[in-house]
Amino acid sequence: MNRKQISMVLFGTALAAGTQLAYAAPDWTKVPKREVSVFHPGTTPIEWVGKKSDHSGTAGLKKGETCVGCHEEKGGLNFNFKRLADKELEPKGAPKTMTYPVAVQAAYDASNLYIRLTFKSPSGGADKGDKDNEVKTTVMFPDAKVPQSAQVGCWAACHNDARSMPNADDKKTKYVKEGTYELMQWKSAKGAKVADGSVSTDRKMEGGTLGAKAEGTKSGDTYTVTFTRKNPGEGKVIPFGLAIHSDHASARFHHVSLGYTLGVGADGDVKAVKQ
Ligand code: HEC
């Protein structure tokens, strides 16, 4: 081997090692997809959901039923989207696309849990408050102290007096009365920092304990966002909810999922596969 050949070999090895580091994440072709629909929830915070005169599901929720149990049908959601787009529940204006599917995949190894979301981000939003980011993708994990954490997804953190709700305090963020949500967020702006935060008495976009990392790509109108967080432990079943801000949406103008469970090598709505 001459010098040039040697350096080529060395360069090749370095490249392979580098590639391995960057893509230590799973082989997604071997991981099943669970379709989860996100929807524009208008102004239906936990206070609305828990008020009998507004919502027929109130009694069922008290008995322990889940949002998904009543509202997911044949892979989609059975909401009356006209009602959710109407002035009563959406005074500012609703997005053109009220609901769309997100393919959710999960895998884990000894140290990490990987969650991959694939979705087509719709345009036609009604709020374009985030100039920098076309898309933001958030995953929230309630702990067991969050009220109805196994039933309500992100709703325990969503209140009628939070920022961007009608007549609410402009500085008040998401909060929860008891317990904590951990959250991670990917933003589409070039070089944007991945948020590793929490929601307790207020929302913090940093200082979280998930060890969150994320990578996102866009191909055509399809986004693929892969999160890495600490493995919560094999055999655990953890509740989670998703939020996607598309078309430069800010604050409450997101599409959200109901509450689902993720099983780490265990049964759940989404089953994380060992790799
Ligand atoms: C026991 C069944 C049940 C449960 C549990 C339930 N809902 Fe409902 N929900 C209903 C029914 C029935 C309606 C339709 C009419 C109404 O509200 O009177 C409805 C309506 C809604 C609407 C308004 C749109 C529409 O189709 O009218 C939203 C938003 C909603 N539910 C969200 C939730 C969320 C979020 C949860 C969990 C925190 C939840 N629901 C739990 C039964 C349920």
Q: Which of 70, 83, 154, 242 to mutate to test the pocket of ligand 1 (most atoms within 8 A of CB)?
A: 70
pLDDT of the residue at 4:
52
Give the mean model confidence (pLDDT) for residues 249-267. Answer: 97
Is the pLDDT score of 153 beyond 60? yes
Report the C-alpha gap between 119 and 103 in whole angstroms. 6
Q: 49 alpha carbon to ligand 1 midpoint, in Å?
A: 7
Q: How many CA atoms lie within 13 A of 154 on its CB side?
A: 26
pLDDT tens, residue by residue, 39-90? 999 999 999 999 999 999 999 999 999 999 999 998 799 999 999 999 999 9
- Output the residue whose Cα is nearest ligand 1's atom 10: 57
Query: Residue 201: what are its φ and ψ, rounded to 5°?
Result: -70, -25
Pocket test for ligand 1, best of 71, 77, 90 (most atoms within 8 A of CB): 71
Q: What is the mean pLDDT of residues 246-264?
A: 97
**Position 185 pLDDT exceeds 70:** yes
Return all residues near 82 (Cβ < 8 A) that are at least 6 apart: none
Nearest to 256 by CA among 158, 184, 146, 162: 158
- Give me the chain's average pLDDT, please: 92
Measured CA distances, 170 to 24, 78, 92, 165, 185 (Å): 41, 32, 15, 9, 21
Q: Is the CB–ligand 1 distance for residue 57 below 6 Å? A: yes
CB-based contact 156:148 (threshold 8 Å): yes
Average pLDDT of the residues in 104-118: 97
% of the chain beyond a pLDDT of 70: 91
What average pLDDT does range 95-115 have in this prediction? 97
Among protein residues, the one with the nearest Cα to ligand 1's atom 30 is: 49
Please name which of 215, 216, 209 lies closest in space to residue 230, comparing C-alpha atoms: 209
Q: How far apart are CA 24 and CA 22, in angstroms?
A: 6
